């Protein structure tokens, strides 16, 4: 049995999680500071979580398709994300982005703002405050969101099919492999991927619980 | 170095309008909770931007709405000791203090060690803030501020987060630690006792508006306004009518009183401190016949709430409060009625 869906899934999920973490944290940090249009922008950032994946896929095609708003410029330099693993990554990243964004935002908002104010009056530059004070105290929340986002990216199906298709060996992830196997009445193959997906997802959740417990323990050690 | 503040800010229905000048003497900002004291400090620190006005420190302009100057907090050299000390929980004591160093790392280590020693933090360098007592946390926060070498130190209710039995000692510690600081010190509190002990001069902030600065003893001896008298702990008030010839009618108490001083033109109220009201046996000049409302036993004293017989005012405003030693009250023999005497010298005229 070819293992390519496993590789593709992991590659897509890791790369997508890297970008969602980066952009999710930055977006949350920006939105928290906004004075106007906060609700609107927050709504837009959260939308991929509540929209049907097919709708997200539709929009992605509209933007990244070879005739899309952004895709046509990519096409001019000979690049295309449609039917590629990069496309699958974009789809997974967009769908899992709100999970990092929302948990990070919650963590930033719950933080004691006096810590930031104190750091400012002491003369610390904003980037240093973000890295040395905000991130460490919000990290448990951000990390939990990132792990959830990884699990979500790993299982992404709808938007991925629409943008990247279901090409064995190129864009077929594990969840797509399950779909194809069921379609072709290959129960055995479906079971095989189902068990692998469940194993990875379960391990991810275990890791998250262990992580939260570890955070609690190290906090208690300081107390 | 003079810190000059003149700012206005509107926050919903609350209007902050504060203006004062502070020099090397510790200036207290006294006001009830929610009167805008902390907001004033935040404006000076640059954390909050006022709507209009000007803040200058020596010859540096920190904020000027007309000239569109608004220095970031990082460049103001104004430090802020927060109520909860705002120590960084993920850093050790030494790392926390190191965050305050503005200069180079090498000279920084030296000054950090020096402050750790001066503030009795030796042995605690590698502890985390949550492992420290309230007093230790305060010393770390102060060390972090002192290594920062600011020109202004602002203390926002520094003792409110502490147990009362600790306060007294910490207060003395804080004052001695601040003695060698030569810049401007602002001390915010709603506690008149702290202000009296710590500050040389006081600026009262009443519902967002500042009053002129007065010397601390003067504020307590001769408060000028009703809010100042309230904040300095005066308990008995009446509206007045000037009857000329050294006589006034205390409207809320329903009596005529003789006073030692001429009545100022703008006086609308009089105030008398609880310990200047003395119970007497019979009616005479400057006595008020009263009914006893309630007797409360305090730790060392007895507090008695009285209602003047002839008071036309139905609200609690007209009630009198007297305070005396427990034995003295017991010796008086509790009755339903009481005459209290006010010495003409003890009447304070208020706007």
pLDDT value at residue B24: 87
Spell out which residues of chain A touch residue B145, defining contact as CB-CB under 8 Å: 122
Of A187-191, A196-200, B195-199, the poorest mean pLDDT is in: B195-199
Structural contact between residues A114 and B80, judged by C-beta atoms closer than 8 angstroms: no
Q: Among B72, B77, B80, B86, which would you mutate to test the A interface (most chain A Cβ atoms within 10 Å of its Cβ)? A: B86
What pLDDT, in 10s, does the model give residues B285-331?
A: 888 888 888 888 888 888 888 888 888 877 888 888 988 888 888 88
Q: Which residue in chain A is spatially nearest to B132 when comparing CA positions?
A: A223
How would residue A104 be classed by pLDDT, with cut points 50, 70 and 90? very high
Q: Which residue in chain B is spatially nearest to A113 when comparing CA positions?
A: B86
Average pLDDT over residues A72-101: 91
Task: Give the separation between CA B296 and CA B304, rounded to whole angstroms.
Answer: 6
How would residue B334 be classed by pLDDT, with cut points 50, 70 and 90? low
- Is a pLDDT exceeding 70 seen at residue A1? no
Q: Which residue in chain A is spatially nearest to B100 when comparing CA positions?
A: A122
Of A107-111, B59-63, B103-107, B198-202, the poorest mean pLDDT is in: B103-107
Least CB-CB distance to B74: which of A115, A120, A137? A120
- Is a pLDDT exceeding 70 seen at residue B135? yes
pLDDT value at residue A96: 95
Average pLDDT over residues B134-145: 90
Average pLDDT, chain A: 91
DSSP strand E in B126-244: where? 152-156, 184-189, 201-206, 209-210, 214-215, 236-244
Q: Cα angle vertex B18, ends B13, B23, to 5°?
A: 160
pLDDT value at residue A47: 93
Entry pTM: 0.81
Q: Among B74, B93, B144, B152, which would you mutate to test the A interface (most chain A Cβ atoms within 10 Å of its Cβ)? A: B74
Average pLDDT over residues B136-153: 92
Least CB-CB distance to B130: which of A124, A137, A222? A222
| Helices A174-183 & A4-33 angle (0-180, nearest 10) | 130
- Chain A CB within 8 Å of residue B42 CB: yes
Contact B42 A117 (CB under 8 A): yes
pLDDT value at residue A91: 95
DSSP secondary structure letter of residue B13: T
Contact B74 A117 (CB under 8 A): no
| Chain-centre distance for alpha carbon A26 | 13
Spell out which residues of chain B touch residue A118, defining contact as CB-CB under 8 Å: 80, 82, 86
Work out the burial of residue B176: count CB atoms within 10 Å of its CB; fewer than 13 is exposed, 13-18 middle, 19 or more buried.
exposed
What pLDDT, in 10s, does the model give residues B224-246?
A: 888 888 888 888 888 888 888 88
Domain ranges (residues) in chain A: 4-222
Spell out which residues of chain B touch residue A123, defining contact as CB-CB under 8 Å: 74-75, 102, 148
Q: Which fold has domain A4-222?
A: MetI-like fold (1.10.3720)
pLDDT value at residue A223: 62
Work out the burial of residue B334: count CB atoms within 10 Å of its CB; fewer than 13 is exposed, 13-18 middle, 19 or more buried.
exposed
What pLDDT, in 10s, does the model give residues B172-192?
A: 888 888 888 889 999 998 888
Task: Give the separation between CA A5 and CA A193, rounded to whole angstroms.
Answer: 9
Contact A124 B74 (CB under 8 A): yes
Q: Among A113, A120, A123, which would you mutate to test the B interface (most chain B Cβ atoms within 10 Å of its Cβ)? A: A123
Decide which of A197 and B168 is more confident. A197
Least CB-CB distance to B47: which of A112, A117, A136? A117
pLDDT value at residue A48: 92
- What interface predicted TM-score (ipTM) does this complex get? 0.80
Spell out which residues of chain A touch residue B90, defining contact as CB-CB under 8 Å: 133, 136-137
Please state the φ and ψ torsions of residue B150, each to the nearest 5 degrees.
-80, 170
Average pLDDT over residues B167-175: 82
Contact A121 B80 (CB under 8 A): yes
Task: Give the separation between CA B168 and CA A222, rounded to whole angstroms.
Answer: 28
What pLDDT, in 10s, does the model give residues B30-70?
A: 988 888 889 999 999 999 999 999 999 999 999 999 999 99
Q: Which residue in chain A is spatially nearest to B95 when comparing CA positions?
A: A132
pLDDT value at residue A133: 93
The residues, any chain, with a CB within 8 Å of residue B327's CB and separated by 6 or more, are: none
- Chain A CB within 8 Å of residue B131 CB: yes
H-only helix segments in B148-213: 164-178, 192-198
């Amino acid at each position: 049995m070819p293992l390519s869906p496993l590789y593709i899934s992991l590659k897509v999920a890791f790369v997508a999680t890297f970008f969602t973490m980066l952009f999710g944290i930055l977006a949350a940090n920006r939105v928290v500071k906004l004075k106007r249009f906060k609700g609107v922008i927050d709504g837009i950032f959260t939308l991929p979580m509540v929209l049907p994946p097919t709708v997200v896929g539709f929009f992605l095609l509209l933007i990244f398709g070879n005739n899309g708003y952004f895709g046509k410029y990519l096409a001019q330099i000979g690049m295309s994300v449609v039917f590629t693993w990069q496309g699958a990554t974009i789809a997974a990243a967009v769908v899992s982005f709100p999970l990092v964004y929302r948990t990070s935002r919650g963590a930033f908002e719950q933080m004691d703002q006096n810590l930031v104010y104190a750091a400012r009056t002491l003369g610390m530059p904003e980037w240093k405050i973000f890295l040395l004070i905000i991130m460490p105290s919000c990290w448990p929340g951000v990390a939990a969101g990132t792990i959830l986002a990884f699990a979500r990216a790993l299982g992404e199906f709808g938007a991925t099919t629409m943008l990247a298709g279901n090409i064995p060996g190129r864009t077929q992830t594990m969840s797509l492999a399950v779909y194809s196997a069921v379609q072709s009445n290959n129960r055995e193959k479906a079971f095989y991927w189902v068990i692998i997906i469940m194993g990875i997802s379960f391990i991810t959740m275990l890791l998250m619980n262990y992580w939260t417990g570890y955070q609690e323990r190290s906090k208690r050690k300081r107390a | 170095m003079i810190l000059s503040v003149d700012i206005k800010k509107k926050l919903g229905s609350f209007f902050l309008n504060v203006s004062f000048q502070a020099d090397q003497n510790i200036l207290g900002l006294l006001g009830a909770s929610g009167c805008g004291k902390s907001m004033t400090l935040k404006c000076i620190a640059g954390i909050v931007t006022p709507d209009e006005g000007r803040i200058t420190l020596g010859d540096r302009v920190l904020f000027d709405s007309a000239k569109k100057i608004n220095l970031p907090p990082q460049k103001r050299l104004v430090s802020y000791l927060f109520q909860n000390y705002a120590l960084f929980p993920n850093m050790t004591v030494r790392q926390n203090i190191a965050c305050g160093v503005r200069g180079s790392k090498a000279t920084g280590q030296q000054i950090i060690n020096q402050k750790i020693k001066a503030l009795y933090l030796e042995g605690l360098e590698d502890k985390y803030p949550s492992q420290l007592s309230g007093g230790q946390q305060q010393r770390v926060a102060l060390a972090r501020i002192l290594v920062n070498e600011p020109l202004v130190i602002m203390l926002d209710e520094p003792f409110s987060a502490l147990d009362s039995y600790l306060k007294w000692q910490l207060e003395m510690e804080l004052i001695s630690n601040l003695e060698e600081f030569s810049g401007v010190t602002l001390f915010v509190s709603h506690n008149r006792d702290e202000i009296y002990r710590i500050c040389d001069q006081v600026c009262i902030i009443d519902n967002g508006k500042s009053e002129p600065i007065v010397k601390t003893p003067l504020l307590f001896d001769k408060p000028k306004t009703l809010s100042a008298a309230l904040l300095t702990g005066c308990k008995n008030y009446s509206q007045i009518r000037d009857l000329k010839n050294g006589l006034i009618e205390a409207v809320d108490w329903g009596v005529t009183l003789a006073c030692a001083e001429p009545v100022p033109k703008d006086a609308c109220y009089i105030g008398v401190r609880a310990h200047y009201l003395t119970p007497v046996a019979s009616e005479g000049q400057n006595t008020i016949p009263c009914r006893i409302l309630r007797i409360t036993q305090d730790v060392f004293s007895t507090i008695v709430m009285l209602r003047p017989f002839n008071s036309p005012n139905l609200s609690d405003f007209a009630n009198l409060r007297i305070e005396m030693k427990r034995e003295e009250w017991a010796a008086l023999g509790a009755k339903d009625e009481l005459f209290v005497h006010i010495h003409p010298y003890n009447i304070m005229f208020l706007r």
